[in-house]
Amino acid sequence: MKVLIVYAQPEPKSFNAAMLRVARETLEGAGHEVRVSDLYAMGFNPVASAADFSGRRFPDHLQYDREQKHARANDLFSPDIAAEIEKLLWCDFLILQFPLWWFSVPAIMKGWFDRVLVNGVAYGAGMRYDTGGLRGRRAMIATSTAAYPGMCAPDGLVGDLDVVLWPLQNGTLAYTGFDVLAPFVAHSVNYVEPERRTQYLADYAARLRRVEGEEPMFFHRLADFGPDWRLKPEIEPRAAGQRRR
């Protein structure tokens, strides 16, 4: 596999940094190619703006997604965006690795989505979900939380983890065509004993060694929806974010 790990944690002594080392060693040890976008180390700029384009189709009114499409066709992306798009299209397995902050990714990674998952490459007219621009690739979230496992149970304080991660797993990864593998989650890493953290790392390595054979999570295909963009009457809602009213 060609593996791209997009990584967002500023502290080299953090548990996430240890997870990153484990992932790289495990995957390279199994013969896979690994590239890492260490967003903090790169000083990655997460703020989408007009400065992302060296030329504009609509110079008087920034419509970011339309400029992305224009920039893609005319090679007008700022170099940092172009470099990340190249890595994205190179990989066949994407790992998003981050500590869960405010039920989501750190801002520096959100900006990677905003700026790198561009219209005309990752999604666009006729390109979403199973027809998304990144189809044929797999993706996985690897994260740590400050929550106890019970908090992330379906009836827990934080809520169903599949719901918490819906904007990421459905709205970002599945939307752009990835087959999404179940997330790897290390819970309450700051509140457990060192032995538990060591076990999490061993579990993560074991998971990555067998990841090639894994079945992806279920998300509805585009064909499950009618012309009104709602599930066809004969389709049973099976994903975390969809239900019959």
Site residues for its own copies per CB under 8 A: 10-11, 13-14, 40, 46-50, 60-65, 101-108, 110-111, 113-114, 117, 129, 146, 148, 150-151, 153-160, 163-164, 166-168, 170-172, 190, 220, 222, 225, 228-231, 237, 239-245
65 or 214, CB closer to its own copies?
Answer: 65
Select 111 or 183, whichever has its Cβ closest to its own copies.
Answer: 111
For its own copies, give the closer residue by CB, 91 or 117: 117
Task: Give φ, ψ of 73 to 5 degrees.
Answer: -70, -25
CB of 143 to its own copies, least distance (A): 13
How far apart CA 26 and CA 244 sit, in angstroms, is: 42
Shortest distance (Å) from residue 140 CB to its own copies: 17
- The answer to whether 133 and 176 are in contact (CB under 8 A) is yes
Round to whole Å and give the CA distance between 53 and 167.
27
Q: What angle do CA 88, 138, 235 make, to 5 degrees?
A: 125
Would you call 151 exposed, middle or buried from its count of C-beta atoms within 10 A (0-12, 13-18, 19+)?
A: middle
Q: Which DSSP state fits 119? A: B
Question: Which residues are bridge partners to 140 per DSSP?
Answer: 95
Name the minimum Å distance from CB 244 to its own copies. Answer: 6
Compute the least distance from the CB of residue 13 to its own copies, in Å. Answer: 5
**Closest CB to its own copies among residues 29, 49:** 49
The distance of closest approach from Cβ of residue 164 to its own copies in the complex, given in angstroms and rounded to an integer, is 6
Q: Distance of CA 188 to CAs 88, 171, 181, Å?
A: 30, 25, 22
Query: Looking at beta carbons only, is 196 or 209 nearer to its own copies?
Result: 196
